[in-house]
Chain A
Amino acid sequence: MTAIDPTAHLTAEQIEELGRELDAIRDEVIAGRGEKDAAYIRKVISAQRKLELVSRGVLLFSFFPPAWLLGTAGLSVAKIMDNMEIGHNILHGQWDWMRDPKIHSTTWEWDHVSPSDQWKHSHNELHHTYTNVIGKDNDLGYGIMRVDEDQKWHPFHLGQPLWNFINACFFEYGIAAYDLELGKNLHKRRRKNPEFRARARAVGRKIRKQVLKDYVIHPLLSGPSFLPTLAATFTANLVRNIWTHSVIMCGHFPEGVQVFERRSIKGETRGQWYLRQMMGSANISGSKAMHFMTGNLSHQIEHHLFPDLPSNRYAEVAVKVRALFEKYELEYVTGPLPKQVFSAWHKVFRLSLPNKKPKVKTPDREQELVAA
């Protein structure tokens, strides 16, 4: 967090005006949603399924190295598409307006060990509502890291570069544990809570199915290619995990992103909520293909402003949103992927140590926070 509130120059009236302008952008997209958008998501889903089938087919012959390479690359991309452009966005309800029960947030399940209903709760309800509010939004360091000076340092954080690396490699398991709130629920008292146990069993079932498919059935079907296929599915999961972890780190951890105090969101207006999303998120710049592979989470700012607009519209929305940032003299945090990933990792390393100077909270600063 910067010492100065970057929104201090805005009056309450301006913030509400900003909110109205953002509402207008949203309304315009909603009014224009239609056949082309529906065709888009159906095409992506169909392409993902075909790519996954073909890749898994090619991997049946994975003892042949070019087949291994091709199949692994294809399966990695298919898994990334499933999780990002398809799964994440459908589970946000971005496509519910189509009223197609096959493409709906309440029926969709993804290629991921966290069952979609648990992920929807921790992600849609908690993270998207309390974005970057310390103590409320567990996405700020996922409960294992310190990603802002205002988070309290603990010797445990010395290891956070390592924790972050392990989390990146096994990100889907990290997310499942996170959605279960394992840190909190493994306490003796809570462990026996029947609601927690039911959720834990659901995760167990999902993990079993995923593992069976990727690490038993598919390799077995490959016969003599058992081991290469096993290595391929493991690699594809690893690639997907590291990729999604990197993209998601870029959403809220890079330098320049603001965090907020619990008190600051009390009685928050629509305009103030929008402003918090604008200041609490960061984008990734790049090509169309890059945006697609991030599930358009490269438009993180736009996604946080309008989590349920169809992802294929974020690019056009971004132009208008960016103009508002300029109009209201706010910093639009964005950069190419390597730069943003470096920035986020740099923070993870830097904040593994205690703050250099003890932080003194002045009354002035508290007022700023309340205003934010």
Chain B
Amino acid sequence: MVTTPLLPSDYLDLVSPLRAGADLRGRIEAVHPETGDAATIVIRPGRGWRGHTAGQYVRIGVDVDGVRLWRAYSLTSPTNRHRQDGRVTITVKAIPDGKVSNHLVRRAKPGTLIQLDHPTGDFVLPQAKPAKVLYLTAGSGITPVMGMLRDTEFDDVVMVHCAPQPQDVIFRDELHDLVADKKLRLTEVHTDTDGMLDIARLDELVPDWAERETWACGPAGLLDAAEEHWTAHGVQERLHTERFRPSIVVAGDGGEVTFSTTGRTVDADGATPLLDVGEEAGVLMPSGCRMGICFGCVSPLKAGAVRDLRTGEITEAEPGVLIQTCVSAAAGPCDIER
């Protein structure tokens, strides 16, 4: 009443953006380079932070060139760190043309406020400790696994990690320390010299791989091969995978997309997710995992038709139809109620 049309929180945000009850935000406190193109970002989350489970990721909203962009990154700090010093870390690898990853790795400054979501993801360790563990990772796929390694000790842990060259291995010193302490057996595959990992080589690298509870994270090629391999040996229930990107297979003709709440109309091709189309047009699009899993992005389809980029399936507008904008593209003219 006193502050109408604003809310008291609009004023409190000016002085205390990380207070309890505020929208969840965080402050970047430090940026530590890990490799030439990866860095660990130390974040102090706001008071509302609920903590995470090792292996989970967090969505962060970063203003890059004045535009708020949301991405998901794996948490790499052990779960008890937040209780100890109020901080968590994410580790980010700059990908070519990646607006957010390059910004975080190369330009992010301590003191910057970022938006946070609560940690989520089911690429986590089970309650009951498995006797033997295999971590199969490549590139930045090591990040959720590092969160696990730092969090939980197992009696028998093997890791197979792929990176182009030795200096590209994120957390290399820490991994080698673990090896020296006999807490980890590590095989590094340097793909520039050794070539891509042939999944059949696992028999030679980790003879008892099929007995191990396995967590795998890396590019789609590696994960697809792993899933096939584990399934072929009938042990698929021991394999847990985490994908960073959806596998987009189908595209068709696009169309004119109307975002009726905001009142914008733009042309969209048949391959670009409507989430990206809307964001590009300045429409406030809810978003989540950006890979068709979390349903955080669903929006009403008021008119027209959209295509699911993963399956090619067409969804037509009907009252009450909601679509996942992150994996749907225009299939002709359509109207999204945002």
Interface residues of A (CB under 8 A from B): 33-39, 46, 49-50, 53, 93, 96-102, 104-107, 109-111, 124-125, 206, 209-210, 212-213, 217-218, 221
Selected A-B contacts with CB under 8 Å, 9 pairs: A35-B65, A49-B10, A93-B262, A96-B283, A100-B68, A106-B261, A110-B5, A125-B263, A210-B4
A99-B1 contact, Cβ under 8 Å, with A33-B66, A105-B262:
no
Enumerate chain B interface residues (CB-CB to A < 8 A): 1-6, 10-11, 14, 63, 65-69, 261-263, 279, 282-284
Question: In the assembled complex, which residues on chain A have CB atoms less than 8 Å from the CB atom of B283?
Answer: 96
Residue among B5, B11, B283 with max Cβ neighbours from chain A (10 Å): B5
Pair A34/B65 contact, Cβ less than 8 Å = yes
Closest to B279 in A: A99
Contact between A99 and B4 (Cβ–Cβ < 8 Å)? no
In the docked arrangement, what's the CA distance between A50 and B12, Å? Answer: 11
Smallest CB separation, B300 vs chain A (Å):
15
Tell me how far the C-beta of A313 lies from the nearest C-beta in chain B, rounded to whole angstroms: 12
Tell me if A99 and B5 are in contact (CB < 8 A): no
Query: Which residues of A have CB within 8 Å of B63?
Result: 35, 38, 98, 100
Cross-chain contact A218 with B2 (CB below 8 angstroms): yes
The answer on a CB contact under 8 Å between B282 and A99 is yes
In the assembled complex, the Cα of A112 lies from the Cα of B67 at a distance in Å of: 28
The reply to whether A99 and B14 form a contact with Cβ atoms under 8 Å apart is no
Cβ of B1 and Cβ of A212 under 8 Å apart?
yes
Nearest residue, chain B, Cβ from A93:
B282
Q: How far is the CA of A166 from the CA of B282 in the complex (A)?
A: 39
In the complex, what residues of B have CB within 8 A of residue A111's CB? 5
Name the distance in Å between A330's Cβ and chain B's nearest Cβ: 30
B1 touches A217 (CB 8 A): yes
Residue of A nearest to B65 (CB): A34
Main secondary structure of the interface of B (DSSP, over half): loop
Whether B65 and A96, one on each chain, are in contact in the complex, defined by CB atoms closer than 8 angstroms, is no
* B278 closest partner in A (C-beta): A99
* Residues of chain A with a CB closer than 8 A to B279's CB: 99
B261→A46 contact, CB < 8 A: no
| CA gap between A206 and B1 in the complex, in Å | 11
Q: Which of A38, A53, A97, A105 has the most CB of B within 10 A?
A: A97
Q: Which residues of B contact A109 (CB under 8 A)?
A: 5-6
The answer to whether A53 and B66 touch across the interface, beta carbons within 8 angstroms, is no
A98 to B1, CA, bound (A): 29
**Known A35-B66, A97-B282, A101-B284: A213·B1 in contact at CB below 8 Å:** yes
A209 and chain B: residue at smallest CB distance: B4
A98's partner among B3, B10, B68 (CB-CB below 8 A) is B68
Asked whether A209 lies within 8 Å of B1 as measured between CB atoms, the reply is: yes
> Shortest CB–CB separation between residue B181 and chain A, in angstroms?
45
Contact of B2 among A36, A98, A125, A213 (CB under 8 A): A213
Closest to A100 in B: B68
Closest chain B residue to A37, Cβ basis: B66
Q: Does the CB pair A106–B262 fall under 8 Å?
A: yes
Closest B residue to A310 using CB positions: B66
Other A-B pairs beyond A49-B10, A106-B284, A213-B1, 15, CB < 8 Å: A35-B63, A36-B66, A37-B66, A46-B14, A49-B6, A50-B14, A53-B11, A99-B67, A100-B63, A100-B68, A104-B284, A106-B262, A210-B4, A213-B3, A217-B1
- Say yes or no: A96-B2 contact (C-beta < 8 A), given A34-B65, A35-B63, A37-B66: no
- A98 and B66 within 8 A (CB): yes
In the docked arrangement, what's the CA distance between A99 and B282, Å?
6
* B68 touching A99, Cβ below 8 Å: yes
B14 touches A34 (CB 8 A): no
Closest chain-A Cβ to B201's Cβ sits at a distance in Å of 45
> In the complex, what residue of chain A is closest to B262 when comparing beta carbons?
A106
